[in-house]
Amino acid sequence: MKIYAPNVHLFAFELYKGSNIDLNTLQSDQNFLWERGDEIIRVTLHQDLQLSQRLDTKKEPHSPRVDLIKDTEVIDDNYAVSFDGKITHNQDLLIKGFAHPLRIYDSYSLWLNLRRPEKENNQVTDDLDIDVLQKFNPNNCLTLKENPLFLGQTLLITAWLTGAKEQKFVKQIADECLKHIFANQNTVPPFFRQGELFGSAIFEYGLFSQLDNYQHVLIWLFADNKADEKFNLCYQELLDLFFFRTKVIKAYKDSRAIYQQLDLIYRQIEEKIEQIPEAGDNKKITGAYLTQLQKQLETFPQLALRYTRLLRNLEDYQNTIAINGDNYADRVQQIQGILPGEDLGFLETFSQRNCSFFQQQIKADLGYFQHGSELLDKAINSIRGIVEIEQDQSDKSLERTVQILGIGFGGGSIASGVITANIDKIKIPLANISPNHPLHPFYASLLLSIIATLVFIALGWMITKRK
């Protein structure tokens, strides 16, 4: 199978600012896209593009979209760095391309193009075997490795069908293009859907159910000049579409990581609540267990704070999806304005179906995990209740003991005073206690005082117990 004038477009995006981004990360990774662009050209065409040296990333933004090429590098109002070189595939083939660096809203964007020209020396170039696409992606260089700021990428491969015969096997041709653009078959994204855009067949690869290894690839096979011409009319809007789409996918992917963290904390909350005795439980609560509950009471607010922050992050991702989904739909409408009457159903599916699904999924997650906050409140209130009850009982027990001893010693003192006052003056010398000697008045007074104290303690115990 053969194709004509294949084009490979890489649309890659990374954040350049954000409230949650560490300053050191920004400084260390701010040249990530430009370095990857240099690496791709170095590997494919053996040239040093030195892209970062051609940029002015400090340009003041006059609009949400800023071209980053230095003014001194701009030729004929072209804000892309053009280049050409050769690859060897049975013969030396001329390859042209460009690198277009941009700043879009809060992100950097790199549009990198590698293409076999339709004409060379004013002569139409030859059709090529599909396996020539291997030369466009040696060592899988078109798949950028993620870093903390990297948002994602879209790989768009366009090519012309060579005749009516090939149109009957268009799906097979697309699959062959995908197979040869990725030398490592383990990195080939699975087929997702197919449709038609600007009158030509387009195929999408990459499943949202495999977000950990998600790779977005479009293969667009032109049947005539119309698709190519319309693509050139709205290429800026299509670039914006890929940007907003990437932001949505990144937000949804990050929301799944937040989901996992929330689920883990939710299970911890449930386990801790199961360990708390219910009200009215007759189980003896020891001092050690009470101390343990007090420690839990100290840790629960920290857990609640972390849980609340994760819920807030999940809500932020929901808002990010909503905002960028709306922006995506707005760009589709702009393309519709440029191409009135054009069927854009293939593009609209993402905003109408996928974005809606992502938002509904996060909404369901928020509804489920909101119960975790209620469980945390319940746990904190339960522990506080147990601690307060035990503390109150301890205070009452101490109060009762003081009352009993107060009654006992007070009554004993009164009795001792009365007894002592009515004993004749003590003139008998103190003698040892023995059966041969009568009880000395001192001993009699002491014994009667002790008996009186014990009687009053018993009386106090009975009174406080009745209360």
- The string of pLDDT tens digits covering residues 342-390 is 999 999 999 999 999 999 999 999 998 988 777 777 666 666 666 665 5
- Name the band, by pLDDT with cuts 50, 70 and 90, for residue 426: very low
Instruction: Give the C-alpha distances (Å, rounded to integers) separating 375 from 126, 270, 280, 303, 455.
Output: 69, 8, 20, 12, 53
pTM summary value: 0.80
Q: By the 8 A CB rule, do 52 and 99 touch? A: no
Distance, in Å, from the CA atom of 327 to the CA atom of 105, rounded to the nearest integer, reads 12
Distance, in Å, from the CA atom of 83 to the CA atom of 100, rounded to the nearest integer, reads 11
Stretch among 135-144, 237-246, 338-347, 419-428 having the lowest mean pLDDT: 419-428
SS3 content of the chain, % helix, strand, coil (to 5): 55, 20, 25
Q: By the 8 A CB rule, do 198 and 231 touch? A: yes
Q: By the 8 A CB rule, do 115 and 228 touch? A: no
Average pLDDT value for residue range 62-67: 88
| Strands 150-161 and 216-222, bridge-based pairing | parallel
Q: Which residue has the higher pLDDT, 51 or 381?
A: 51
Look at residue 117 and tell me whether its pLDDT is greater than 50. yes
Residue-level pLDDT at 279: 46
On average, the pLDDT of the chain sits at 83
Residue-level pLDDT at 270: 79
Domain ranges of the chain: 2-232, 250-386, 396-466
CA angle at 12 for the pair 323 and 359, rounded to the nearest 5°: 25
CATH level 3 topology of 250-386: Methane Monooxygenase Hydroxylase; Chain G, domain 1 (1.20.58)
User: What is the gyration radius of the CA atoms in the chain, in angstroms?
Assistant: 41
Look at residue 60 and tell me whether its pLDDT is greater than 60. yes
Q: What is the tens place of the pLDDT at every residue in 431-450?
A: 555 556 555 565 566 566 66
